[in-house]
Amino acid sequence: MESPFKADLLKGKVALVTGGGSGIGYEISLQLGKHCASVAIMGRRKHVLDSAVAALHSHGIPAVGIEGDVRKEDDVARTVESTFKHFGRLDILVNAAAGNFLVPAEDLSTNGFRTVIDIDSIGTFRMCHEALKYLKKGGPGKDLSNGGTIINITAAIHYGATWYQIHASAAKAAVDSITRSLALEWGTDHGIRVNGIAPGAIDDTVGLIKLAPEEIMSKIKEKPLYTFGEKWDIAMAALYLASDAGKFVNGTILVVDGGQWLSKPRFLSKDAVKQLSRRQEIRSRVAPTGLPKSKL
C-alpha cells in the first residue's frame, strides 16, 4: 500500500530496530528507511539479518545488521555503540524483539516465564537505558522535540486476560509501565518521547503462526467481522510516532487492532434487543393500575 506520509519524513534520522530482521520489526525498518531514515537492525540470527539488510539495500536504504541478543548486556551496549559509530547519531529506537508461545499456566516452567520477561521487559529497558546517552540531545525537555524517540512494541493481550499466555501478558504489562515511566522522566528531563504500539493479530507473521496455527485459525476466521491487520498498519503507526506529526504525543500506548480488544460476546441479537426495548417502552406508558396514564 502507498504511504500517506511524505517520502522525506525522516530525512537525516537514524533508527535502531531490535527484532528488525523479520515480521513486524522488518516492516517497520523498511518503512522508516523508505521515508529517508538510515536503519540499523539487531537480531540473534545472522542469516536473517543478512537477508533483511540485503532487502533494505535493494530499496536504496542505508542499513546495517548487528548480531546480538537483548538479553545480554554486552550485546546491547555493542549494538547501540556500533549504530552510533556507523551512522554518527541515533534518533529513533524501536524495541520490537519479543518472545511468546502458547502454554497452560500449570505447564509453564519458571525458566520459560523468566525467558519471556527477559526478552520483552528487561530487554526493552536494557535497550532504552543504553541508548539514552545518544537520544538525549537537547537538555531538559520543555520542548519534546529536543531529544530522540523511543517506540516500544507491546500488545493488547493484558488489557483483559488471554488464554495460555500468562508469561507474555505479564511481560507486555511491564513494557507498558516502562513506556509510561520513561515518558514521564525522560520527556521531562531530556525531551525524549517514549510511546508504545500494541498490535492486534497481524497476518503473515511468525507470531500469528505460533499463536494461532491453522486448526485454530480456521475457527477464528469463522467469527463475524473478525479481521487481521497487516504489518504495514503497524509500520505506519511507527512512522507517525517517530515523526514530527507525533511531536506532542508522549507516554501513549497506541492500540492498532481494529478495535478487537474492545470486543465482547454478544448475548442478544440486535433484533432481540429491539423487541425487548419496544416491550419496555410499552410498559412504561402504562400506570401501575394497568390504566393508560391519560385516564388517571
Between 48-52, 176-180, 206-210, 248-252, the lowest mean confidence (pLDDT) is in 206-210
Q: What residues does each domain of the chain span?
A: 14-259, 265-296
Q: Cβ(199)–Cβ(229) under 8 Å?
A: yes
Query: Domain 14-259: which topology?
Result: Rossmann fold (3.40.50)
86-107 average pLDDT score: 95
Q: Cβ(215)–Cβ(171) under 8 Å?
A: no
The chain-wide mean pLDDT, for the chain, equals 88
pLDDT tens per residue, range 179-202: 999 999 999 999 999 999 999 887
The answer on pLDDT for 160 being more than 60 is yes
Q: Provide the grid cell at 116.
A: 519471556
More confidently predicted of 229 and 114:
114
More confidently predicted of 13 and 224:
13
Kindly report the pTM of this predicted structure.
0.86
pLDDT tens per residue, range 45-75: 999 999 999 999 999 999 999 999 999 999 9
pLDDT tens per residue, range 238-248: 999 999 999 99
Sole residue written with cell 491487520: 229
3-state secondary structure 135-174: HCCCCCCCCCCCCCEEEEECCCCCCCCCCCCHHHHHHHHH
218 — pLDDT class (breaks 50, 70, 90): low
* C-alpha pair distances (Å), 50 with each of 42, 56, 82, 208, 294: 11, 10, 16, 23, 82
Pick from 28, 36, 34, 30: nearest CA to 98 = 28
